[in-house]
């Protein structure tokens, strides 16, 4: 991976420091976050209230002696991945999972670890991989962050099911 793409919009960039978890997420932790995203994502709506049903709560970042809620970021106890849903994701109906990487060379092995659980990608475009997860759910993973704080960014979306007439 020669270059990393920066986060495409300011709202996610503002939430990016929240992705600086203590350690990188395992493939199982990433898939747990992906499964939560699948449960709350439809072609027309992201059901944020349902995140708590899956153990996810607003992310709290240490700010001195207090914890400050990071708007649009969600965490789960025992899971190093974060779910990020900013205004842009609400607009595009996409649920995003951030997984911290130790270094940029961990991107490929992280994508491979997730593939061993959810299945192989259906296609790739450069460093971006795409999956069809079934039931109208799609996922892509892109490198994000920067060289000092690399992130694997998983985006889950739902497509409208076509009905036979």
Tell me the pLDDT tens digit for each residue of 30-66. 999 999 999 999 999 999 999 999 999 999 988 888 8
Q: Is residue 4 part of a domain?
A: no
Residue 163 located in a structural domain: no
Cα separation, 153 vs 96, whole angstroms? 7
pTM for this prediction = 0.83
Does a structural domain hold residue 5? no
In a domain, 133, yes or no: yes
Task: Pull the structure tokens for residue 29.
Answer: 């932790």
Report helix, strand or coil for 15: helix
The count of domains in the chain is: 1
Expressed as residue numbers, the domain containing 88 is 10-158
Question: Would residue 56 count as lying in a domain?
Answer: yes
């Amino acid at each position: 991976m020669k270059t990393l793409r920066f986060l495409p919009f300011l709202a996610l960039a503002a939430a990016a420091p929240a992705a600086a978890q203590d350690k990188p997420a395992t493939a199982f932790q990433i898939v747990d976050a992906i499964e939560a995203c699948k449960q709350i994502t439809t072609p027309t709506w992201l059901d944020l209230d349902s995140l708590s049903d899956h153990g996810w709560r607003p992310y709290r970042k240490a700010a001195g002696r207090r914890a400050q809620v990071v708007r649009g970021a969600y965490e789960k106890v025992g899971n190093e991945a974060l779910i990020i849903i900013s205004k842009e994701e609400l607009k595009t109906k996409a649920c995003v999972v951030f997984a911290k990487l130790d270094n940029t060379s961990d991107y490929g092995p992280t994508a491979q670890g997730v593939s061993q659980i959810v299945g192989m990608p259906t296609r790739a475009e450069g460093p971006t991989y795409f999956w069809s997860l079934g039931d109208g759910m799609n996922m892509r993973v892109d490198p994000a962050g920067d060289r000092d704080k690399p992130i694997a960014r998983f985006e889950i979306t739902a497509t409208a099911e076509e009905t036979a007439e």
